[in-house]
Chains A and B, each alone.
Chain A
Amino acid sequence: MLYREAGQFKSTYAEDMQIFPIRQDRIGVILLLAVAFLVVPFVATQYWFSALLIPFLVLSLATLGLNILTGYAGQISLGTAAFMAVGAFMAYNAELRIPGMPLLGSFIIGGLCAAAVGVVFGLPSLRIKGFYLAVATLACQFFVLWAINRVGWFTNYSSSGVISAQKMVILGYTFDTPASKYVLTLSIVVVLALLAKNLMRSETGRAFMAVRDMDVAAEVIGIPMMKTKLLAFAISSFYCGVAGALYAYCYLGTVEPEAFVLDLSFRVLFMVIIGGVGSIMGSFVGAAFITLLPIFLNLATEVIANTFDIEISHAVVSNAELMIFGGLIIFFLIVEPNGLARLWQIAKEKLRLWPFPH
């Protein structure tokens, strides 16, 4: 069936304002979710879960968080990893110190603490913009890691700073196999992504985009600048915080400051840029591109080496990987500076008319 909305008439505003107004989108999303929930857990291997799917989902969530702030509200941040660290460590402490705390409750507490930190470090955004704001959020990155290393309370006075995460138990079920961790991560990510999608298509999302596109006009039509910017920081940091908690609990299995260094902030920012600034779907595409492409390249070199029966040394492979990866990033940014989500949008518009030229 062709991907086009022709013939799908909407007779009420409610129909026109559904979360996925095009029928093919609805079917596609339902199919995707069905496969992700019902097929993947039974067919994927251990390696797939722990090396590909879980990090992809967790980083998608972090990218989504940053996309809310940078893509929708237009505030650049380099503090993503710090917000994730706050989420991870506060979830750990909530689980540790509050008796009988349900796991999801700890994740939410982690997210809320990250949101609070986000609001504090979002305050400079009321005065400064663009690159200068990015530099100001760098302070957050360094401060948070410094605080976690220095204040023993956060790491429960562990001498190495590396703590193994508690067992994940929800309603008596222990999430200890990779498949169960995958399902847990997937569920949280799907719920949060749908909430974000709703939020971005309603008043709050419009206020964010208005502030991004033209702040003076936004203020003149009555959008309060301070509240909107700080809310963007809070929501974005909440998402990053939950992502951080998932990163520690479902992916690493340990809670450690070294996992949340500046490098991670940059990676998430690249995912936003490559996936598509201001697009929920783009966050997933961007995360997929950056987490999965290196692995794909690795497999591809192996296949090439086997088919042509040549010996490729390990060093060559890893260097070639980096070069191809960097080249592809530059290529995509030149072809479509607005990211892969924009490419998809263009394809969609073309498909509306295909096979006719106009």
Chain B
Amino acid sequence: MSIALHQHPRAHPIGEVLLAVENVSLSFGGVKALSDISFDVREHEIRAIIGPNGAGKSSMLNVLNGVYHPQKGTIRLRGKSFSDMVSHEAAAMGIARTFQNIALFKGMTVLDNILTGRNLKMRSNFLQQALWWGPARREELAHRHAVEEVIDFLEIQHIRKTPVGRLPYGLQKRVELARALAAEPTILLLDEPMAGMNLEEKQDMCRFVLDVNDHYGTTIVLIEHDMGVVMDISDRVVVLDYGRKIGDGTPDDVRANQAVIDAYLGVTH
């Protein structure tokens, strides 16, 4: 069912290498989560990371935005290497992400959640905010405007004042995407954006991921278990198994790769 969704000319053609992962190894005590992983992500592409459960996909994503620090290897963003970066620095460098188990701020409204995504762009100090005066007020209004654009883009206008804790799962996933998008990231990391969704919600989410890539030119790295989705929307795929990289290439390459087939279907030893 491989439908080439990218057949039309892309608004943002795939460019140079944006993010390069070089020989990254990560272990927790005796458990090797990632060993010697290298791959790159090009500008404006949709890059998928797949693999069976426990392959190290989420660990990889956590390394990319500074939640985990790899013991070995480097990560280069636009050629600049960093190894010990904490996650709010990663955010400042333009890396935004969503989580496998939704990590929204449950007590806040959709609007407030998405507005937190723009915190790095806010300059006024708390005294100005307390007075709701001058720069603080102008800034709130300007960011509200920007956030409303994201809300329109993801079609969640009707729930903007609802506390997120009351929303159904599929919408929460969409709000989380909106919060990440509000930061106007260069790289967007999506950890299983379609997990636990029904077919229609998955189709919606696929459309949004493609639209984000097309409209904002955001480079996207995503983890996903639904093979149909991965093969349809991604430009290139990395396959991990037991913390090692066993395949890397276009969806068609990966589909034909014997090691990948063995990892997914099992092999008699």
Residue numbers of A with Cβ under 8 A of B are 13-14, 16-17, 19, 195-196, 198-199, 202-207, 209-210, 212-214, 216-225, 231, 235, 278
Q: Kindly state the separation between the CA atoms of A286 and B129 in the bound complex, as whole angstroms.
A: 26
Quick check: A223 and B106 within 8 Å, CB to CB? no
Q: Kindly state the separation between the CA atoms of A14 and B132 in the bound complex, as whole angstroms.
A: 11
Q: Kindly state the separation between the CA atoms of A235 and B129 in the bound complex, as whole angstroms.
A: 13
Quick check: A223 and B140 within 8 Å, CB to CB? no
Known: A198-B131, A202-B129, A206-B119. Is A222-B91 also a contact (CB below 8 A)? yes
Quick check: A19 and B132 within 8 Å, CB to CB? yes
Q: B107 at interface (Cβ–Cβ under 8 A)? A: yes
Contacts of B119 in A (CB 8 A): 203, 206-207, 221-223
Q: Kindly state the separation between the CA atoms of A199 and B112 in the bound complex, as whole angstroms.
A: 13
Known: A17-B141, A209-B107, A222-B120. Is A198-B130 also a contact (CB below 8 A)? yes
Quick check: A17 and B140 within 8 Å, CB to CB? yes
Closest 3 CB pairs of A and B: A222-B91, A217-B103, A213-B105
* 26 A–B contacts, CB within 8 A, in A order: A13-B148, A19-B132, A195-B130, A196-B130, A198-B129, A198-B130, A202-B132, A202-B140, A203-B122, A203-B129, A203-B139, A204-B126, A206-B119, A207-B116, A207-B119, A209-B108, A212-B105, A216-B67, A217-B104, A220-B88, A220-B91, A221-B91, A221-B179, A222-B91, A223-B116, A231-B126
Smallest beta-carbon distance A239→chain B, Å: 11
- Please give 18 more A-B residue pairs, beta carbons under 8 A apart, in addition to A202-B140, A218-B105: A14-B141, A16-B144, A17-B140, A17-B141, A203-B139, A204-B126, A204-B129, A209-B105, A209-B108, A213-B106, A214-B104, A217-B105, A219-B88, A220-B67, A220-B97, A221-B179, A222-B88, A222-B120
Smallest beta-carbon distance A337→chain B, Å: 13
Contacts of A216 in B (CB 8 A): 67, 103
CB contacts under 8 Å to A, within B93-111, are 96-97, 99, 103-108
Count of interface residues, chain B, beta-carbon cutoff 8 Å: 40
Give B132's nearest chain A residue, CB to CB. Answer: A198
Q: Kindly state the separation between the CA atoms of A235 and B127 in the bound complex, as whole angstroms.
A: 10
Q: B117 at interface (Cβ–Cβ under 8 A)? A: yes
Give B93's nearest chain A residue, CB to CB. Answer: A222
Smallest beta-carbon distance B2→chain A, Å: 33
Q: Total A-B pairs in contact (CB under 8 Å)? A: 103
Contacts of A195 in B (CB 8 A): 130-131
Contacts of A220 in B (CB 8 A): 65, 67, 87-88, 90-91, 97, 103
Quick check: A224 and B107 within 8 Å, CB to CB? no
Q: Kindly state the separation between the CA atoms of A210 and B106 in the bound complex, as whole angstroms.
A: 9
Quick check: B112 and A209 within 8 Å, CB to CB? yes
Q: Kindly state the separation between the CA atoms of A209 and B117 in the bound complex, as whole angstroms.
A: 13
Quick check: B87 and A203 within 8 Å, CB to CB? no
Set B107, B136, B145: member contacting A202, Cβ < 8 A: B136
Contacts of A203 in B (CB 8 A): 115, 119, 122, 124, 129, 136, 139-140
Quick check: B88 and A223 within 8 Å, CB to CB? yes
0/1 string, B60-94, CB within 8 A of A gives 1: 00000101000000000000000000111011100
Q: B33 at interface (Cβ–Cβ under 8 A)? A: no
Quick check: B88 and A199 within 8 Å, CB to CB? no
Give A72's nearest chain B residue, CB to CB. Answer: B107
Smallest beta-carbon distance A202→chain B, Å: 4
Contacts of B179 in A (CB 8 A): 221
Give A227's nearest chain B residue, CB to CB. Answer: B88
Q: B230 at interface (Cβ–Cβ under 8 A)? A: no
